[in-house]
A and B are shown apart, each in its own frame.
Chain A
Amino acid sequence: MRYPSVLFFYLSTLSYFVTFVLYLLHVVFHPHPRPLSPPRERGDGGEGATLGIIAASASWGLSNIAWGVWATRALLASVILSGAGVIARAIELGNASQWVKVLLLPLSTTYETLTFFSWLIPLIYFVMERKFQIKQVGVFVTGAAFVMLSVAASPSLAPNAPTGVPPSLQSYWLTIHVLFMVLGIAFFTSGFGATLVYLWRRYEKKLFLLFGALLAAIALTIFFVIPLFATLQPAKMLAAVALFGLLCAGFGGLLLFVHREQRPVAWEFLENIEEMVYRCNALGFPFYAIGGFVFGGIWAEQAWSRYWGWDPKETAMLVAALVYAVYLHARLTWGARDAGWRGGLVAWLSVLGYLAVLYAWIGINYFVSSLHSFV
């Protein structure tokens, strides 16, 4: 095979699917996340403590198999496989680009970005899983990696032969700026996965209702509010604004209603997951913000002659960073004192922030042409 990276990515697609199934089995047979456990001493647990629950019983039964342990091992194998793919792709891209100037991370096209993420996001999650011992998040993370690799393998996206990078990307700032951005997004993704687990435990089946309502609100915004606004007739624009207000109020009302129904006792068991959400977001934020504002600014000054030009992608990134900044403030002020805040507004801010990140990362490419139109 001429391009070994393609082979590695195919193998890791399969491997992520297997990992996804293992995590799913873990969640089905060991549904309860570890409650705020009695504190352990660091370093005295050995393999058993760091890798989760070891099946104690010898009896045969699906629920007695330590699915989580196997899932983690499969995750590690998948990460190694896709890591090999990323390294191979970096070498191929370097060859295609005549090794211009500097080592380039394979991040110059959508295909490369997706495959890179399918390595980085599970890697970051693996580290977080070891630290927090919460395996439920793995379902989301490996599922996302599988979907990303599948999308990358679609014929429209996959230029299997790497092409040389355009002149505007030939800079070591590509490596620094984009690496920081994707690290930020990878941490946010783990945080979002943990938020999903948290919200699921918090609302159980009502979460479907809430997410359904949220998705419906977003779909209505995209298919009705924006086109109505874009007609640019004052009456219809007003109607669009009113409709948008109604949608926001409707979702907020539903949220408040569900909140009132909830027994507050259950939250206390979820502190560990909530801590993981906070840590992921607090780790991701400086990468995202410094990578975007500072390193992006320095590079933009070198390539485009200005630090900040209100380019759509820059602006969308600013919006996402602002939402996460509000999340961190809310979490550190009200959330630190009150479990109700942590479970309520703060968790939903984390969801909103991740949606904004997705918009800045992928969504924006479909709305406006931008200087950042390579990825």
Chain B
Amino acid sequence: MIRIAHFEEYEPKFLRALQRHLYTSFGLGCEQAGCVPWPLENREPNSPVDGLLLLNTAPKIDGLPSDRTLYLTQRKLQTRKLLTGELHTSGLSQYKGMRALLSLPPHEELERLQKQIFRLAIAELGHNFGLHHCLDPRCAMYPPWTLPQASTEASFCNFCRALSERYIRR
């Protein structure tokens, strides 16, 4: 089961669309867990937050031990400084873990960027299930920072779909 929790209020229409899309992509039940309290001390809406810290301190959602939770926030996530360079972060997930985090654009742009948001949500939850980045630019698991994603579909390639099914049923 996938559960969607959010730190701010969102339009029910958007949440339902995301729920439906995740259900069709993973073949798993998807439920809305509602709004959850902000866990960090940093409450300023415009300051970027540490994604990993937020991911690890987010409140636990009741459910089965195998449930994955996707947390949504409208706060920007801090740019990560990695060994090979800096990386703008719009989503994070615990690899083979239970939690994924997605930073969303402002409310006005949610509808316009819906496809890209869904794609990112699939990618982050895919990491949760054990998928790595994919070589196919049309796949949702393709690294999100490489090319404009407007032209690409928010779905898995055949290889990643088969792999995700295998990992989910395992």
Partners in one complex: no
Binding site for B on A (CB under 8 A): none
